[in-house]
Amino acid sequence: MQTEIDTLSVRLGQLLVARQGWLATAESCTGGLLAGAATAIAGSSAWFEQGWVTYSNGAKHAQLGVSKETLKQFGAVSKEVAQEMAAGVLAKSPPATLALTTTGIAGPGGGSADKPVGLVWFGFAQRLPSGIVVHASSQIFEGDRTAVRHASVAFALRSACELLTP
């Protein structure tokens, strides 16, 4: 898995450099692994701006501007929160052109029937000449806490590469 993450990080960096773009991240369930994957690559200072680990709802609200009402209505593990996190990243990091966010249930506990262990929502926001575009997607990953977190990082990086590939 680490080789795949390293390969995806290198590719994302190449795509961002080619576009003179900058990445910023905000993570909950991955706890900094996504930013760590980016900064593990030599030369990432040419394309990685900054990252936040916003594990609690309070941090999501205070650091990224996620609405308390959104958190209450949909819960931290939701499409709406992933999107608000991504929009908040771009608002707090003016140089960033791409925001990646993660919020999920890595386990082993904390799941429910409608939000099982392994469910992760990903937020993606791009700063384009036409404005900011935000979307989200979810995946349910199998395995233990470590497997869910690493699969989440790989998915976020792979999705970002696809988003930037013409």
Give the total number of structural domains in the chain.
Answer: 1
Q: What are the pLDDT digits (tens) for 51-67?
A: 999 999 999 999 999 99
pLDDT at residue 1 tops 90: no
Residue 14 falls inside a structural domain: no
Residue 5 falls inside a structural domain: no
At 2 the pLDDT is 76
3-state secondary structure the chain: CHHHHHHHHHHHHHHHHHCCCCEEEEECCCCCHHHHHHHCCCCHHHCEEEEEECCCHHHHHHHHCCCHHHHHHHCCCCHHHHHHHHHHHHHHCCCCCEEEEEEECCCCCCCCCCCCCCEEEEEEEEEECCEEEEEEEEEECCCCHHHHHHHHHHHHHHHHHHHHCC
Residue 115 falls inside a structural domain: yes
Query: What does the pLDDT average to over 6-18?
Result: 98
User: Any idea what the CATH number is for the domain that residue 117 is in?
Assistant: 3.90.950.20
pLDDT at residue 145 tops 80: yes
Asked whether the whole model's pTM tops 0.85, one would answer yes
Q: Given pLDDT bands bounded at 50, 70 and 90, which one contains residue 166?
A: confident
Residue 98 falls inside a structural domain: yes
Range of the domain at 53: 21-41+49-164
* Percent of the chain at pLDDT exceeding 90: 98
Residue 3 falls inside a structural domain: no
